Amino acid sequence: MRGESMATLCRPAIAVPEHVITMQQTLDLARETHAGHPQRDLVLRLIQNTGVQTRHLVQPIEETLKHPGFELRNRVYEAEAKRRVPEVVRQALAHAETDPSEIDLIVYVSCTGFMMPSLTAWLINTMGFRAETRQLPIAQLGCAAGGAAINRAHDFCVAYPEANVLIVSCEFCSLCYQPTDIGVGSLLSNGLFGDALSAAVVRGKGGTGMRLERNGSHLVPDTEDWISYAVRDTGFHFLLDKRVPGTMEMLAPVLKDLVDLHGWSVPDMDFFIVHAGGPRILDDLCHFLKLPPEMFRYSRATLTERGNIASSVVFDALARLFDDGGAAESAQGLIAGFGPGITAETAVGTWTTDDLRPSVEAGLDELELTAGVALSG
């Protein structure tokens, strides 16, 4: 779809928990815990190949490795979400120069715990959002949910051109650790995923960031069981098919098609913010889109420093672009999230700086001039 709204994805706020585990610690744990595993050496090589140097955990590693049961784990999820989400929300609102009363929709994305009512209700009740604020929790799109949240925010701003949308992502992947899952895919996941929270505002009018112009979604047929959760007495069991790393051969053309549909060309694009599920995702995008590796440097940095942080990856990578000074005015960019389905959620747009500020400043200058004339008269 393409809308004429001026929806702008503003600077995200990111937070990671204080407990850190390094790749070396991960490898040592894997060696000790699975000493007799017939494919242990393969798993160790796969973890090394991820390039993930550090990850952040919501609990100390000693607690993470225990399994007190799904009920207690979900209590930790709810308590830690309520403890940590408000600060990233406040930062995101400040970045976008908005306050809670100006937010018309809250999109909350998370696939690592469950709450009903959603955390959106708690946020509205405790942080000064209006009782009329719409709520859109997204729980089952996994890592693709970051892109989906951006796209649904864009759609909302097309429908309501001056609306503002708050997106919140809360992913505590470590709370899904299952000590009895010893398949190669599960053991690799134990060395790949990290915990993080993020928030960002999509402004219907004004704002500095990526002006969203077109979005799309694509489901790769007959891949439903490639990434999934088995829901059992012990909670969520993450299932990862060995074919998943090769999905960019199918999805790279989808990204190109969206860019082409918008009248642009992939080689002429200025920035790419994509979900970094693993290093091969980024390597294959370079290959199939014929792009140099530096075009995915922000996603690569997220993967290296924080691991796969699920739906928060695209916001963390975008925050790194902001930290780097942003992009040039009207620079062309693409955001893409990949996840279960196999689903791709994609968006294209141009970089923009706040177009409200000049008019405000001009108004102040005019006011000062008028006051000066009046005084001199």
What is the C-alpha to C-alpha distance for residues 341 and 142, in angstroms, rounded to an integer? 9
The SS3 of residue 165 is strand
69-97 CB burial, b ≥16 within 10 A, e <16: ebeebbebbeebbeebbbebbebbbebbb
Question: Do the beta carbons of residue 9 and residue 200 sit within 8 Å?
Answer: yes
**In the Cβ-directed half-sphere of 175, how many Cα atoms lie within 13 Å?**
27
Distance CA 212, CA 154 (A): 7
For residue 260, the tally of other CB atoms under 10 A from its CB is: 12
Kindly give the residue spans of alpha helices, DSSP state H, lying in 221-344.
248-261, 279-289, 297-306, 313-323
236-248: b or e for each residue (b if 16 or more CB lie within 10 Å)? bebbbeeebbebb
Active site residue 143: yes
Nearest-angstrom CA–CA distance, 167 and 137 = 10
Contact between residue 112 and residue 172 where contact means Cβ atoms under 8 Å apart: yes
Secondary element (H or E) of residue 20: strand 19-22
Closest by CA position to 81, among listed 156, 166, 170: 170
Q: Is 167 exposed, middle or buried (0-12, 13-18, 19+ CB in 10 A)?
A: buried
- Kindly give, in sequence order, each residue whose CB lies less than 8 Å from that of residue 245, ignoring residues fewer than 6 positions away: 278, 280, 281, 284
Query: For residue 340, which amino acid is it?
Result: P
Pairing of strands 19-22, 209-219: unpaired
143, 157, 170, 176: the active-site residue = 143
The CA distance from 176 to 195, in Å, is 11
Which residues are catalytic, by number?
A: 143
